[in-house]
Amino acid sequence: MHLPDSEKNRMKKITISTLNRMKSAGEKIAVITAYDAGFARLCEEAGADVLLVGDSLGMVVQGHESTLPVTVDDMVYHTAMVSRGSERAFIVADMPFMSHGTPRQALDSAGRLMKEGGAHMVKIEGGEPQVETVHHLTRRAVPVCAHLGLLPQSIHQLGGYRVQGREPHEAERILKEACLLEEAGAQMLVLECVPELLAREVTASLSIPVIGIGAGSGCDGQVLVLHDVLGITPGDAPSFSRDFMAEAGNVQGALEAYVASVRDGSFPGPEQSFQ
């Protein structure tokens, strides 16, 4: 059977090269968290490009108040499930709190997430203090996604979940750290809870894909926690999220609506962005 080019492309396995081409072409990258094989399959069928196995599972799956209790064993377990449920999506796994205190520890943790969990890339929170670790990992064939802005693993140090980068010196620091992390070898960046103008500046300044969450529509792509997309987040949902289930009425419809809204740029809108 002869398949059209669009169908062939849809069936191809997504790699970091795919995501780089999407950035260059101005095509939005749809990212969503997944924690098990079943939802990995559903998210992929809905068209998600990247599945992020987030340490957010500590809150939405395990019932903790923060991401801090999540262990490397937890992340390996959930990443392996997502890997088994996925055929084409690019899989990124979070490095949990205190799993990357030194470059050597980071390499051990990342190795487990890739070898045992099947991750294609690991994500590390933090700016300049993580530059050495990112360089150490990427020189040893470990692909890294950096994470700046609001850092959930540093929530006690930050004093709460609040927008980062509103003050000029904070914005300058975030932009500088983004450039340093790219120079160290990071191949993707998640930018969380920063003003939209700052996110646009960071995105334009980097050659790697920048994925926003609460960072406005100017990023190369968007990520949301699965439970936020489905409107089942425990407690109050973040202000930058949107309940797609309320509009779609079923799980698969909600996932497809999220991906479509990222693709056409209608999500996030002004009400899910910060100035």
Q: Annotated active-site positions, please?
A: 192
By three-state DSSP, how is residue 17 classified? helix
User: Nearest CA to 92 among 149, 55, 15, 145?
Assistant: 145
Amino acid at 64: H
Contact 51, 90 (CB under 8 A): yes
What does the alpha-carbon distance between residue 50 and residue 16 come to, in Å, rounded to a whole number? 10
Torsion of CA 126, 218, 270, 234, to 10 degrees: -40
Contact 162, 129 (CB under 8 A): no
Buried b (16+ CB within 10 A) or exposed e, 149-158: bbbbbebeee
Cβ neighbors of 71 (< 8 A, separation 6 or more) are 96, 99
233 sits in the region (left: phi over 0; alpha: psi -120 to 50; else beta) called beta
Contact 55, 96 (CB under 8 A): yes
User: Nearest CA to 75 among 89, 59, 54?
Assistant: 54
What does the alpha-carbon distance between residue 241 and residue 228 come to, in Å, rounded to a whole number? 6
150 sits in the region (left: phi over 0; alpha: psi -120 to 50; else beta) called beta
